[in-house]
Amino acid sequence: MTLPQRRIGLLFAVFLVLLLAGGVRAVWLGVVRADELQAAAVSQQVREVAVPAQRGSIVDRHGTELAVSEPAADVSATPYLIEDPGTLAGQLAPLLGRPEPEVLDALTREGTGFVYLARRLPADRAREIEKLGAVGIEVTDTTRRVYLRDALASQVLGAVGTDGQGLFGLEGAYDEALSGVDGSRRVVRDALGEAISVRDTEPAEAGESLRLTIDAAIQGKVEDVLARIGERYGPKGATALVMRPQTGELLAVANWPRVDANDWPGAPPYARQNRAVSSIYEPGSTFKAFTVAGALESGAVRPDTMFELPPSIQVADRVINESHPRGAVTLSVAEILAQSSNVGTIRIGQELGVERFDAWVRRFGFGSATGSDLPGEELGLVLDPARYSGSSMGNLPIGQGVAITPVQLAAAYGAIANGGVLRAPHIVARVGGEPADTPGGERIISQRTAAQLRTMLRGVLAPGGTASEAAIPGYQLAGKTGTANKVDSESGEYSQSRYIASFVGFAPADRPQLLITVMVDEPNGAIYGGEVAAPAFQEIASFALPYLKIAPR
């Protein structure tokens, strides 16, 4: 055999060995390890990703959008895949809205294969990040919650967390309805990571919308009025509600200080609370109407029953004076309520007696939930008669020693305005396409007693009443002022420098269509409800009455 032939034979043998080795390798990979390699390929090239459901919007009674969801994206990084973190950090920082050193630290973080760079980044900026085509940067579609009116009704609406779940407020209470159901998407990528197939395997189901009873125009006006109270009196806080007493629909629920709903972390804890339902306080003189109501309904007194009243009254070991010094007078029940006489109201409470007084307090809803759909409602505090001291009937009839919430006060006065029927205030009108469940009303006093009380409460805004300056030309108004000392948490005694000033009223007085409650916590420079809260009632009513086309009488 010649040398060329030997070389050809040797070369053939080498190729034959390589071919056999390749065949064995192919059999090993294609048969023995086929399942394992197929699973690895699928895991690297095929990915199931969640398709976020569109969260339902929240709108006011006219359809004005208050909270909506917009397209957004989560941006994450796999640090060990990034080749030039310094350059990439400079490109990403302005798009992420974060300092460059902070982004660089995230991109070079050791001991982790995954780190979030941003959650719920606006979609336009997320698309700019995608255009960079940076290896190791992942952009995942999601949505972000946006509150279009910023601070409007923010404590009522609540907030949504970074995972898209409602945290508190209506967002939390109605999270299940608003959230919808996420879908699923199958994405197949090539060796370079480019998507070559995208298919939705399970469509997302959008969440249901909430239509509220509030009116954005009235809500905005009320918040502006409270802001002016904040500027003038520098209180700790202020709260107001506007309600239709015939239905219990809340047209506004406002709190001051305001909170930007798009920046909850920037607000102090006190400001975040919806104090219309979470704040309990001693109501003071606004409570006197219920003492009188119980006495009228029980037959203990009539509106024209006369009382001879000394300048002060002693009950057990306590001596109670009027808020303003006066001599001995003779006043009717109607005059006692109009002039907010402490001594006269205590006398009426004594005529009613402990057991009947307690029964009427509870019948008006104090000490229990109103049934409102506003989340976070406190029950307040009403003493059991067994725990009364000798002086309890000296302070309870005038609104001391009992704790209530603003929404309880609105509901109770709503019963007086609504002909004696107590209704639960509510703020949700519809969930999706269905009307929200609304509890029925309960008659607690007769129409006659309710009418007598409305007439008597007109005297509060008449000349000589405690809120005479809050009258509105052309309208007959009714209401009640309240000024209550706060209890000092350290001494347990009533403070002589911290007060609650309040006013609750309705219009028109004969057939009320609008009820407004205002509570100001620790005003400075003035303390009386007639001076601090009643003018706020007047300003809100002066806007709302013509806006709702409620004609003067």
For residue 28, which amino acid is it?
W
Rounded-to-integer distance, Cα 213 and Cα 488, Å: 37
The catalytically annotated residue of 285, 341, 372, 392 is 285
Whether the Cβ atoms of residue 309 and residue 341 lie closer than 8 Å to each other? yes
Q: Which of 194, 179, 168 is nearest to 142 (CA)?
A: 179
Compute CA distances 202 → 32, 53, 58, 188, 275, whole Å.
34, 11, 26, 16, 42
Rounded-to-integer distance, Cα 440 and Cα 445, Å: 16
Each residue's pLDDT, cut to its tens digit, for the chain (553 residues) gives 566 666 666 666 666 666 666 666 655 555 555 555 455 444 455 667 666 788 999 999 999 999 999 988 888 888 888 888 888 888 888 988 899 888 888 888 876 778 888 888 888 898 988 888 888 888 888 888 999 999 999 999 999 988 888 999 999 999 999 998 877 766 665 554 555 555 667 777 889 999 999 999 999 999 999 999 999 999 999 999 999 999 999 999 999 999 999 998 888 889 999 999 999 999 999 999 999 999 999 999 999 999 999 999 999 888 988 888 888 999 999 999 988 999 999 999 999 999 999 999 999 999 999 999 999 999 999 999 999 998 999 999 999 999 999 999 999 999 999 999 999 999 999 999 899 988 889 999 999 999 999 999 998 887 777 777 788 888 999 999 999 999 887 777 888 889 999 999 999 998 999 999 999 999 999 999 999 999 999 999 999 999 999 988 7
Report CA torsion sign: 423, 428, 434, 436.
negative
Is-catalytic flag, 341? no
Q: Which domains does the chain have, with CATH numbers?
A: 49-81+89-94+115-212 (3.90.1310.10), 216-547 (3.40.710.10)
Strands 442-443 and 306-309: unpaired
Residue 414 CB neighbours (<10 A): 28
Phi, psi (deg, nearest 5) at residue 497: -130, -10
For residue 107, which amino acid is it?
L
Angle value at C-alpha 115, between 130 and 75, nearest 5 degrees: 25
Rounded-to-integer distance, Cα 333 and Cα 341, Å: 10
pTM for this structure? 0.85
One DSSP character per residue, 441-487 reads PEE-S-HHHHHHHHHHHHHHHSTTSTTGGG--TT---EEEEEEEEEE
Compute CA distances 220 → 217, 503, 509, whole Å.
5, 20, 25
Whether the Cβ atoms of residue 194 and residue 200 lie closer than 8 Å to each other? no
**Tokens representing 85?**
């973190």
